[in-house]
């Protein structure tokens, strides 16, 4: 029987993909330290957990139950998904009841990120996946509603078993989120080297974000196309950021949540001045840039984009 369950619950854009890659590739190393990771080899972990704890799908619950039972000789079970923080309270209660049948000592690990850098990273992801246009995000930028989400977690789990970490290279152990995660789950610092994996860098250049936004806005292209996203990753250019006026909106939205984190958990982020973003603006690219990129795209990929795919905008 496990002595402890650790739920790494996100939130998004705080290195979760790199953490989960480490869990998948270094499963044996975790076992050698007394930890079992729930990282199915044939199914996406987010889909499996969603099917089990949000959709109550019997087959998914069976897969998780059998996986846990096969590995109960280990001291600690680790489950990781940045989507957990967004589960409804009812889903979290169901998840807690399910896990409590194996172990009642459930701990939560939550990474937090400064609202400015989080918004910049989130904007890239939403545009890259075709979920939002740049214009939509600029008009109404998203922020992580820390108070709402953490209070929901508090209503289900023991807040005294929460651990928070700041996703900032100056505060992460060895400046690396994977090493920081390994230490935070309880593995000795001297063991972190064996858990090193190549980092996953999903950042796009400014030109790549603008091109993705142009394609999704003007053409009918399937969302979540891995080939297209890989192409975007290869577009070189300047660093993507958001204009100061957009980050001012982020600052206003995030303020009550930052104050709540400070007052309730003594969490303070490193100071980030808006002055460092002064002068930044979304460039107005020449039409020739988009034309040239479309030609390159059609030459490089199996998917083709032509004028017959053009939207009426």
Cα 101 to Cα 10, 50, 57, 68, 185: the distances in Å are: 24, 19, 18, 11, 21
pLDDT reading at 202 higher than 80: no
Min mean pLDDT across 27-36, 116-125, 196-205, 218-227 is at 218-227
How many helices (DSSP H) and strands (DSSP E) are in the chain?
13, 5
Binned at pLDDT 50, 70 and 90, residue 272 comes out as: confident
Per-residue model confidence as pLDDT tens digits over 30-45: 999 999 999 877 778 8
Which residue, 132, 122, 130, is CA-closest to 305?
A: 130
Say whether pLDDT at 223 is over 80. no
Split at pLDDT 50, 70, 90, the class of 224 is low
Per-residue pLDDT reduced to its tens digit, 88-110: 999 999 999 999 999 999 999 99
Place of tokens 């409590």: 100
Q: Do the beta carbons of residue 48 and residue 63 sit within 8 Å? A: yes
Q: What pLDDT, on a 0 to 100 scale, did the predictor assign at position 310?
A: 66
- Quick one: tokens of 212? 């993705």
**Domain ranges in the chain?**
4-114+144-195, 206-239+283-309
Vertex 189 angle, CA 266 and 105, to 5°? 60
CATH topology of domain 4-114+144-195: Rossmann fold (3.40.50)
270 DSSP 8-state letter = P
pLDDT score of 308 more than 70: no
């Amino acid at each position: 029987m496990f002595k402890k369950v650790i739920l790494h619950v996100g939130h998004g854009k705080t290195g979760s993909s790199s953490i989960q890659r480490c869990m998948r590739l270094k499963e044996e190393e975790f076992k050698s330290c007394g930890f079992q990771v729930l990282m199915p080899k044939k199914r996406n972990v987010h889909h499996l957990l969603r099917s089990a704890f949000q959709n109550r799908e019997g087959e998914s619950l069976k897969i998780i139950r059998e996986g846990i039972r096969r590995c109960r000789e280990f001291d600690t079970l680790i489950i990781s998904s940045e989507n957990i923080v967004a589960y409804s309270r009812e889903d979290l209660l169901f998840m807690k009841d399910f896990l409590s049948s194996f172990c009642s000592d459930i701990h939560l690990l939550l990474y937090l990120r400064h609202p400015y850098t989080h918004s910049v990273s989130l904007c890239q992801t939403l545009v890259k996946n075709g979920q939002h246009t740049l214009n939509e995000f600029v008009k109404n930028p998203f922020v992580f509603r820390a108070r709402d989400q953490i209070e929901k977690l508090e209503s289900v789990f023991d807040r005294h078993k929460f651990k928070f970490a700041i996703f900032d290279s100056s505060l992460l152990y060895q400046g690396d989120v994977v090493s920081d995660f390994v230490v935070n789950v309880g593995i000795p610092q001297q063991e972190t080297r064996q858990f090193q994996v190549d980092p996953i860098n999903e950042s796009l250049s400014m030109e790549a974000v603008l091109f993705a936004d142009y394609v999704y806005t003007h053409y009918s292209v399937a969302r979540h196309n891995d080939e297209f996203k890989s192409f975007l990753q290869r577009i070189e250019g300047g660093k993507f950021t958001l204009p100061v006026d957009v980050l001012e909106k982020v600052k206003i939205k995030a303020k009550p949540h930052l104050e709540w984190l400070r007052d309730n958990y003594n969490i303070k982020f490193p100071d980030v001045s808006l002055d460092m973003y002064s002068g930044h603006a979304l460039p107005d690219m020449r039409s020739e840039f988009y034309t040239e990129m479309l030609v390159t795209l059609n030459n490089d990929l199996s998917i083709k984009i032509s004028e017959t795919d053009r939207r009426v905008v």
